[in-house]
Amino acid sequence: MSTDATGRKMRAPQRSMRIKLSDHSGARRAEMVYLSIREAIREGSLKPNERLTEREVAAILGVSRTPAREALKLLEARGMVSSVSGRGLVIADLTPENVSELYTVWEHLEGLAARFAAQRASEIDIHNLREIHRMWDIRSGPQALGRLNKQFHQAIYHAANNRHLMSALGGIDDSLALLGATTYAVRGRPAEVKNEHAAIVDAIARRDQAGAESAAQTHIRKAGRLRMSIMARRK
């Protein structure tokens, strides 16, 4: 037990601080479980329509049932798992209509982010964007390009500096995880993306708001069309 400057015992304040900390770490644990499941979905180790129970999640990730339950609630609220009668919770399966809607919204949000970035990016933001773009090597594997693509878009959102937009784009990213494998495995796509990204960076650097918005929209529209054609081929 510690004492303050006047020598008084400080048991009570310490205890309340401990309670807050433990609540906070509980929420953080649920968030960690949530992120782990989202990654497993993104990487394809959890597939659409696969059943997910609180008990399994707790056992696999070595956590207690409470954070597992909280994480599943969060996944359900964000549309990544859905409740199916008689089966409990399953990984959501997006229909072609869902995917088309998702890309339409993403196209507009991404355009807005690029427009804001052209307006507000600092010289450092532009330098960072160029550096990330320079690292784009079409010989890298689809996974590495997927990660770099994410970094590139995060850098645009950072430059756009609008937390409402950031939060909306975070929701889109959650849904994109449901689509599994990236489109970079498609022959020729990595080279196309390199050019599309270059057009976005150049417009942002020359402070061309309309140009940046249009380049970003074109990029997402093309990605969406490719995604739809991959889905159609799988059916």
**Cβ-closest residue to Zn ion?**
149
Cα 15–Cα 20–Cα 36 angle in degrees, nearest 5: 140
Our CB check for Zn ion shows the closer of 149 and 182 to be 149
Minimum separation from the CB atom of position 203 to Zn ion (A): 14
Minimum separation from the CB atom of position 196 to Zn ion (A): 7
**Which of 41, 46, 149, 160 lies at the binding interface for Zn ion (CB under 5 A)?**
149
Nearest to 31 by CA among 170, 178, 180: 170
- Site size with Zn ion, rule: CB under 5 A: 1
Minimum separation from the CB atom of position 210 to Zn ion (A): 19
| Tokens encoding 99 | 């995917």
Cα 48–Cα 51–Cα 57 angle in degrees, nearest 5: 110
Of 55-63, 85-93, 138-146, 148-156: span binding Zn ion (CB under 5 A): 148-156
The yes or no reply on residue 217 touching Zn ion (CB under 5 A) is no
**158 class by beta-carbon count within 10 Å (0-12 exposed, 13-18 middle, 19+ buried):** middle
Our CB check for Zn ion shows the closer of 34 and 106 to be 106
| Tokens encoding 119 | 């307006």
**Contact set with Zn ion (CB under 5 A):** 149
